[in-house]
Structure 1
């Protein structure tokens, strides 16, 4: 498996959203992925009942059990995620709350496969001039931008279920150069 990076440039994130905007499923997949600490395997298990109420309105929180760790997670939904859910529901929802949120075009009743997610994300990234971006980049992007926004590394570590802050820093691509710049920028 190839090592993938987070998407560090917010302009590139906007470019990918624009690239995916014609396909509401893929746009939601990307938007939800970069706004959560969810693994792709957890994203693919989501059903409409996880993200909308009986009236078709987005819920405030997704509550699920992590497929890898079996832990319960409660994830608040941001405004942009709710907007993407609404657009996806308007374009694709067939009044079956038990249907998978990210179904394939053939409507087999199953979610798309991980390989399809990789192709969607890597093709979109390539189209906007990014390399080393894949499905796992979604989760890494959330972690990277959370860290850059000032979220305590221990909270990010917990949400990613990592064993230590150093593992999390390495995971999101915070390098020794970044650490050196942080120290040198103060020069008190």
Structure 2
């Protein structure tokens, strides 16, 4: 169903919608991205409900929402091409709003609570082969016209692969980061404000040192370490664009993205005998189950370790 319907809810319901979004922002410190996603999810449902009932959705429609109406909404979104993850997010946003109304005695969230979110197919990390990951880091500056930009591009991708950083973590490093050439590790603050310690290899110091020496801008603690061509913060899109060029030049698959270098960091450590708990700490994963995705990626290596290490596997006859 189309979002072209202009009147998709009564004034009372729209007022509750705005009050809920305000609560998320002011009392629960939700990010602007979260608020925008919730607003979109709720608007899509209200547009659907308006068309479903042939009149603007009102509080009375939500006071005792039936599972059948929710199933019809999810089916409608599925026909429009929404995947399982999107449908799960739609349902999550709607549940949150209904709980808000329930606390005020205006609706029941029982029907939404009883609904199961569509099962999303887990996507496994897509790491690069060891040789490909090394070549990407070495050739990262191939397309740069200026030497300092070439050195910058090498330094960024070397950090992603050498430390397992997220692209946002690399690009928010301050200008005084990695000043000590003998440092063996550094602290990284990642998702949720969680700080972790990552190792620093000599190749990382070399790449950062080359970039610092050639960069024409002052790299102070108040400014980001990595700069764009005009001196502003380096944008993720620039790194992604450079990686796309490298994919074409090196014959790599579309899955070879900057984030794939982080996956490669973890998978290659696992293949070399690293334990999952250590890799979890290095990646900054809150849950070990997230890190365990890498066991599926490198199952061949794990089976080899099992055959070599387990007493019953070693025993013959």
Q: Normalising TM by the smaller chain, what interval? A: 0.7 to 0.9
Find the counterpart in structure 1 of residue 237 from structure 2: 115
Match of 1:8 in 2: 129
Q: Within the alignment, does 1:71 sit opposite 2:194 as a pair?
A: yes
Compared CA separation, residues 64 and 185, structure 1 to 2 (3 A): closer
Paired positions, count:
178
Indicate how the Cα distance of structure 1 residues 63 and 79 shifts in structure 2: closer, same or farther if over 3 A, else same.
Answer: same
1:51 aligns with 2:178: yes
Q: RCO greater where, 1 or 2, for CA within 8 Å and sep 6 or more?
A: 1
Query: Which residue of structure 2 aligns with residue 103 of structure 1?
Result: 227
1:78 Cα shift?
A: 0.9
| Alignment equivalent of 2:271, drawn from 141, 148, 158 | 148
Moved more, 175-184 or 76-85: 175-184
User: What per-residue deviation string (whole Å, max 9, x for no partner) do you get for residues 50-86 of structure 1?
Assistant: 121xxxx5361333322x1211223332100000011
Return the alpha-carbon distance in structure 2 between the equivalents of residues 172 and 48 of structure 1.
Answer: 36
Rounded to whole Å, the distance in 2 between the matches of 1:138 and 1:182 is 24
Between the aligned partners of 1:73 and 1:93, the Cα distance in structure 2 is 31
Structure 2: gaps spanning 5 or more residues: 1-122, 143-149
In structure 2, the residue matched to 1:126 is: 248
Deviation digits for residues 101-149 of structure 1, max 9, x if unmatched?
22111213x2x22222222223213321211111211211111111112
Q: Gaps (5+ residues) in structure 1?
A: none
User: Whole-Å Cα distance in 2 between the matches of residues 169 and 146 of structure 1?
Assistant: 13
Q: Is the 8 A contact 2:267 2:298 kept in 1?
A: no
Q: Which residue of 2 aligns with 1:139?
A: 262
Listed as ranges, the matches of 1:24-63 within 5 Å are 24-52=151-179, 58=181, 60=183, 61-63=185-187
- The normalised TM-score by structure 1 is 0.79
Distance 1:48 1:13 in 2: 26
137-146 vs 90-99, which moves further:
90-99
Instruction: Give the whole-Å Cα distance in 1 for the aligned partners of 2:141 and 2:290.
Output: 34
SS of equivalent to 2:132: helix
Cα gap change, 1:181 to 1:149, in 2 (>3 Å): closer
Moved more, 21-30 or 78-87: 21-30
**Aligned-residue CA RMSD (Å):** 2.6
C-alpha distance after superposition, 1:3-31 (max 9, x if no partner): 8621223x223322332245001100011
